[in-house]
Amino acid sequence: MLAAFLSGAIVRLRKASAFVVPFLAIAVFWIVYAWLLSSANDFILAEKIAVLLPLGGNAVLLILVTGIVGGLAAGIAGLFGNQCRALFSQSDQ
Amino acid sequence: MKQFKFILSLLFSVAIFYGLNTKFGSIPPIGKFLNPYTGIWQNERSTEDFKDLSQLDGLTSPVNVHYDEALIPHVFAQNDLDLYRAQGYITAQHRLWQLEFQTRASAGRLSEVVGSDAIRFDRGQRRKGMVFGAENALEKMKEIPELVKNLEAYRDGINSYISSLSPADYPLEYKLLDYSPEPWTLKKTALLLMYMTDMLAGGDSDLEYTNFLKKYGKERFDLFFPDFYDVNDPVIPSERDWSDFGEVSSPDIPGGDSPIAYVSGLLPKPHPDNGSNNWAVGPEKSYSGNAILANDPHLGLNLPSIWYAMQLATPEKNTFGVTLPGAAGIVIGFNNDISWGVTNATRDVKDWYKIQFKDKSRNEYLHNDQWKATTKKIEEIGIRGEKTFYDTVVYTHHGPVTYDASFTDNEELVGYAMKWAGHLGGNNQQTLLELNKAKNYEEYEAALTHFVAPAQNFIFSSADGDIALWIQGKFPNKWEGQGKFLLDGNNPAHDWQGFIPQEHNAHVKNPERGFVSSANQHPTDESYPYYVFNDGYEAYRNRVINDFFRSKEKFDIQDFKDLHNNNYNLKAAELLPHMIQNLDIAQLNPEEEMLLGEVGAWDYYNEIDKKGATIWERWWIQIRNMVWDELAKDENDMPYPFAYQTIYLLKNNPNDKFMDILETPEIETASDLFLLSFKKAAADIKSWKDRNGDYAWGEYKSTYVGHLLQALPALSRFNLPIGGNSGIVNATSQNHGPSWRMIVEMSDPPKAFGIYPGGQSGNPGSKYYDDFIDKWAAGEYLEILFMQDESSKDGIMFTQTLTPKQ
């Protein structure tokens, strides 16, 4: 979350992209990384965790949820960073 | 507006950060949990990162660990200290969470991890004296400096592994429960052994027997709970005469009364089926002239499995078998000279004393009509997310006062103290390490002397051609009847007066009959010169096993495998024909008649496809409940007579008062019960059929192996196609059964087969987590690779070398 906050503070994005861009960046990154780790092991654990959490044993769904969770954290932190920047840049003027 | 958006996004950030990193109830912190860097994705691997490790602190020489296809490690070290250090390290690599969790449970420290739901459990563990017993055992272990050094090496091996972990590397269950591993200590090894002791020797029914005695009287008690059944096929063959014991003395029955009291709110007991089978044939009865031995301990079926298979070798000794994560050495196994195994001896080594306190402070209690001082231990029970709970446990010279007004509904000035062999402080570790390197009968005999509790039937065979069985434990030398009921805490004659001398523990070597065996039955017949009373007496598995060995001249390994998988239901064979014969068929409707036909045609084998087995099982459960309805309805905890005696009474005392069902106005006899229970059983089958379809035995029994965390479905295995039941040699019931099956022929080198329902890896993400289960259910075995040296790498999947820190 910290990294997303900082990048949100530095890079000026407008409106919705302040959330969407970090969201997508981290979501995709987590999905790919999780997928790589899991497919190397035939998704053995992913299927079990997808039973533990109410996802019906669907490993793909679990990977998607992983992406969403990561993306959500990144998106909100990025948005917050962006807001900080906006707040302070206003007071500059 | 900008400030508003700022504050809003700040709030959201904080909320989401908090939400993703906090445990809500049983849901783990979802951010940490699903993060690919630190969460469960890091556990998605079948084998750990087995790089050659060059940092193992404390090793004096390199240790080679060869893993075979089943991920069983074959460990070659140069000396004992390196060996046990490596054993600790490797066990932690594969089973860290289980290792830790079991000792936490033993010590009554689950609330620290799971919160206040576990308080009663934790209090019970402290009050049972689990920690007390572990501390006493530790004192005993310290008497042997060499043992201490070995256990310290084992501990340090575990700790080397733990300290190498970052949170991302933690086993799954730590991430699930959101906590971290703790360093291992010698006390935890003692606690692990207490955990096993409690499981196997923690049972007793003294207080329930006392309740029964008070209500129904001695004559009724002796009828329902006889010391010996009308048939007896004991562990030590009847032919054994005890004249080699010489002089034997036992205390006389003291005068005076035993206290009679109603006690309720008792702590849960260990599973009544905790037991096992073992058997061995000597050279004359073996197809090859080599002794053959087998053992299958019966315990709860859990994942990770209670056992972990290993080979432990140094230039001086080479042993293979199963280990208990947390204890050093091999527990059940073999070396080039001997093999050994254990079954539970079920001796009553836990007695209760009624304590009279002087006043509410419980500072003094009455013994020998004098007030003596108690000691008090304040147990601190940490609770996750809440304040620490303090429980004061009062100790008398008998032991801890488990039940008193602070824990159950007792009068203020009364308590019940536990005298338990588990508290005596034994040195099971020393026994195990000596057995691992024993070469013959004399060394086996010497190794056993340190073993106090849980009492076990230690079976033995050697390459020399000897077979033997020792019933080993520290047994109080009791007066006849002592300990069956509540004892008087004030009367010194009720204290344990002494112990049976080690040499007088019942044992047999190379009996005439050419085989030894045990299956938790009566240890001896009435000729044994000491008083014996057990918590349970198996009456079925032992007879099937012994009849098999009496049935022919020679036996081979296939015979042993067949016997492990034998599904013959002797109990059914002894009651079913009688019930069917005495059933008034005219009273049955067509559906019931059909079921009666099915069970009548059944061959008494509990194979998975047999519908008759299911019908029998329901019929037996119903009739047993009907006979003993008086006991179930009683507001005090009452003991149930054992199956054998229940069946004996149904056949021989059909008009006994207990046959009556209280609820009904009529007075029933056994024949009435056969009919009523059959009708109920038929209704059970019908509703099962409506809900689930097939009522074949395998479907009905639905055997499962459950994860230690209350059989979390995601991490457990269900509906295993395996037959058998408790009371059958293949003792697999719904969640209990042969947790390890081993067969060893003492050839040169020994040939061995083994299997257990689990896998070598404790990581649910590994393909080795449960890879043995299907084979086990099918009655198959792994061929054990017993490496004689490191010259050949046949069967080795990969090797890891542990080298000393440079």
CATH number of the domain where residue B212 is located: 3.60.20.10
Give backbone dihedrals phi and psi of B653, rounded to 5 degrees, phi first.
-125, 55
d(CA B801, CA B806): 14
Domain check: are B396 and B489 in the same one? yes
* Domain final residue, candidates B498, B532, B564: B564
| pLDDT-based confidence at residue A89 (cuts at 50, 70, 90) | confident
DSSP classification of residue B590? H
What's the distance, CA B699 to chain centroid? 26
Domain check: are B312 and B341 in the same one? yes
pLDDT of residue B52: 59
Residue B427 belongs to some domain of the structure: yes
Q: Which domain holds residue A88?
A: 2-92
Residue B108 belongs to some domain of the structure: no
Domain check: are B260 and B351 in the same one? yes
Q: Does A1 touch chain B (CB under 8 A)?
A: yes
Residue B720 belongs to some domain of the structure: no
Residue B124, helix vs strand vs coil: helix
Disruptive mutation site among A83, A88, A89, A93 for chain B (greatest number of B CBs within 10 Å): A83
Q: Does B289 touch chain A (CB under 8 A)?
A: no
User: Domains in chain B: how many in total?
Assistant: 2
Is the separation of the CB atoms in B570 and B584 below 8 Å? no
* Domain final residue, candidates B682, B701, B720: B701
| pLDDT-based confidence at residue A87 (cuts at 50, 70, 90) | confident
Q: For B254-374, where are the E strands, in sequence order? A: 275-281, 292-300, 302-303, 308-313, 318-323, 332-335, 338-344, 350-356, 364-367, 370-373
Domain check: are B536 and B582 in the same one? no
* Domain final residue, candidates B533, B564, B595: B564
Strand partners, B344: B456
pLDDT of residue B390: 95
For residues A18-33, give the mean pLDDT: 90
pTM of the model: 0.93
* Contacts A52 to B, Cβ<8 Å: 176, 712, 714-715
pLDDT of residue A21: 87
Residue B16 belongs to some domain of the structure: no
Per-block mean pLDDT, blocks of 10 residues, chain B (806 long): 77 84 82 90 79 76 95 96 96 95 94 93 94 94 95 96 92 94 96 92 90 92 93 92 89 82 81 92 96 96 96 97 96 97 91 93 94 95 94 95 85 91 92 96 96 94 97 94 92 94 95 95 93 90 97 96 97 96 92 95 97 97 94 90 95 91 88 94 95 94 94 93 96 96 96 97 94 97 96 91 85
Q: Does A28 touch chain B (CB under 8 A)?
A: no
Domain check: are B306 and B322 in the same one? yes
- Whether the pLDDT of residue A93 is over 50: the answer is no
Q: Which domain holds residue B688?
A: 570-701
pLDDT of residue A84: 78
* Contacts B764 to A, Cβ<8 Å: 44-45, 48
Nearest in space to B454 (alpha carbons), one of B655, B202, B690, B679: B202
pLDDT of residue B53: 62
* Contacts A41 to B, Cβ<8 Å: 44-46, 765, 767
The number of beta carbons lying within 10 Å of the beta carbon of residue B597 is: 12
What's the distance, CA B524 to chain centroid? 22
CATH number of the domain where residue B658 is located: 1.10.1400
* Contacts A34 to B, Cβ<8 Å: 34, 36, 41
Domain check: are B559 and B574 in the same one? no
Residue B381 belongs to some domain of the structure: no
Is the separation of the CB atoms in B453 and B472 below 8 Å? no
Is the separation of the CB atoms in B531 and B496 below 8 Å? no
Q: Does A55 touch chain B (CB under 8 A)?
A: no
Nearest in space to B582 (alpha carbons), one of B681, B683, B677: B677
Residue B377 belongs to some domain of the structure: no
User: How many Å lie between the alpha carbon of A24 and the closest alpha carbon of chain B?
Assistant: 15
Tokens of B297: 């301990």
Domain check: are B391 and B304 in the same one? yes
How many residues make up chain A in this entry?
Answer: 93
- Look up the ipTM and state it: 0.87
User: At CA B5, angle to CA B1 and CA B10, rounded to 5?
Assistant: 145
pLDDT of residue B49: 57
Q: DSSP characters for B549-586?
A: HHS-S-B-HHHHHHHHT--B-HHHHHHHHHHHHT--GG
Residue B470 CA neighbour count, 13 Å, CB half: 22
Domain check: are B530 and B603 in the same one? no
For residue B193, what is the enclosing H or E element?
helix B186-201
Domain check: are B451 and B489 in the same one? yes
Disruptive mutation site among B16, B32, B37 for chain A (greatest number of A CBs within 10 Å): B16
Residue B490 belongs to some domain of the structure: yes
